[in-house]
A and B are shown apart, each in its own frame.
Chain A
Amino acid sequence: MTPRGSPPTIRIAAGQGFWGDWLEAPYRQVTGGPIDYLVMDYLAEVTMSIMQKQKSRDPSLGYAKDFVPLMERILPLLVERRIKVVANAGGVNPRACAQAVAATGRRLGLGGKLAIGVVTGDDLLPRLDELLAQGHELRNLDTGRPLSDVRARVQAANAYLGAWPVVEALRQGAGIVITGRVTDTGLTLGPMIDAFGWRPGDWDLLAAGTVAGHTIECGAQCSGGNCLVDWERIPDLANVGYPIVEAHPDGTFEVTKHPGTGGRVTVAGVTEQLVYEMGNPAEYITPDCVADFTTIRLEQVGRDRVRFSGIKGRPATDKLKVSIAYFYGHKAVGTLVYAWPDARRRPPIGCCGSACAIWDSSSRRS
């Protein structure tokens, strides 16, 4: 399926935007129309420490467990339709995740028909002291404080890897690539590099793939979910279509969704997603390149179809970002229930702080 007369277009479908996202979405992406790749992003900063905690209790855990039953459901379809999967579901234990998926595949009679690639190397927890000893201070990007301040309380440390390890796995023939902390954007860029034979140094192309990844990394957030413009008339959000990138070798691409699904793909909605979690838009830094979001040209070229072009990029920096979680105390949110009689007058006695003032003023009316 790789290079050799690059295909003119590949279709990359987003199936998960976070751990706990709608599990029907990837199934519908696979069954709702033709796609070549299914990419799924599971990892947020706090997710890594949750997974590390699970792994410390049971060394066979530490990944997105719901990824395995999902694979069980779609594996036969993936094999039949030659759809490849790239997912950072591996969390802090990608090997165990891959083994669980492999066991599922064998149980389904797919042994020998499925190559699973595993991307590791992001987990720096076992190497932290070595790095500190070598003089890497690992300063906090917000506060500038060195890691030594909190070293004893560190729970997880993962470098953000980019698209290239994913590319390597695909080139070795993997049909399913399971990774640890690969960037959200790298999951989408990887298949493009592999399919189109893009090279390190093709900064504009790498930036284009990065923008594509950023656009679909939050799933339905670019296809009508959370959109402020005309939101009351966005159709059938209960059956929202997750985004699909139709990518071309020249770095242009369209974002769309399967026909017959809910939601809406418009310039307005896509733009909202583009500016989401944005820093300096001219310097969107990833391990793969520095993408310039001020060069993106958007055009509505059809119903639920937005075309991206003009994207420019610059060389990647020589550093990787590391996500480090450390124990900082407990946080809990609770709800108190007050029943009849006198429910509205009782809360001020049972709680404290500013919430009471609100209750006070409302209870006066009762």
Chain B
Amino acid sequence: MTGRGRGRGRGRERAKKVPLLELAHARSGDKGDTANIGLIANRPEYYPILVKQVTAARVARHFKGMIKGNVERYELPNLGALNFLLHGALDGGGTISLKTDAQGKVFSTALLRMEIEGPR
């Protein structure tokens, strides 16, 4: 939970790194070979932080090696939520997958381990 690494230097006070778990909750599901993660801000003021930092590219990096396709992101400001589609995430899909978590249920909480710069 302590800020690892150096800040980008510009801001005088360095934002504290926190796991997403402290700012959001999540649930995932599956459709074919795509897993989805709905990431929901715990408070309305956290939503813009998620929008800014939890980009599709960052999520793709977070799950590098675990998914074969790209990551798409959709915004649901009305629910304070982001929806990520992780393509090629399930080894062919829930019914044929040899993954332990064949329906991708744990992608949600696995994402909550990602560290981002928390609110100041």
Contacts and interface: CB of A to CB of B under 8 A. Distances in A.
**Contact residues on B (Cβ < 8 Å of other chain), bracket:** 20 to 34
Interface in A276-333: 276-282, 293-298, 310, 325, 328-329, 331
A200 to B, nearest CB: 26
Contact of A282 (B28, B74, B94): B74
Interface string B6-48: 0000000000000000000111111111101010101000000
Nearest to A226: B27
Given A272-B27, A277-B30, A282-B74, A298 B38 contact: no
Contacts of B95: 45-46, 325, 328
Contact of B29 (A45, A228, A277, A293): A277
B79 A275 contact: yes
A274 B96 CA distance: 26
B98 A276 contact: no
B105 to A, nearest CB: 9
Nearest to A228: B25
A234 interface: no
Contacts, number: 82
Given A142-B33, A229-B25, A272-B27, A295 B96 contact: no
Interface in A26-84: 45-46
A274 B38 contact: yes
Nearest to B112: A228
**Secondary structure type dominating chain A contacts:** loop
B36 A278 contact: yes
Contact of A279 (B76, B79, B85, B98): B85
10 contacts: A45-B94, A141-B32, A228-B26, A229-B25, A272-B26, A275-B36, A279-B31, A294-B78, A296-B78, A325-B95
Interface of B: 25-34, 36, 38, 40, 42, 74-81, 83, 85, 93-96, 98, 108-109
In the complex, the 9 A-B pairs of residues with the closest C-beta atoms, listed nearest first: A275-B38, A277-B29, A272-B27, A228-B25, A142-B32, A276-B29, A142-B33, A46-B95, A278-B83
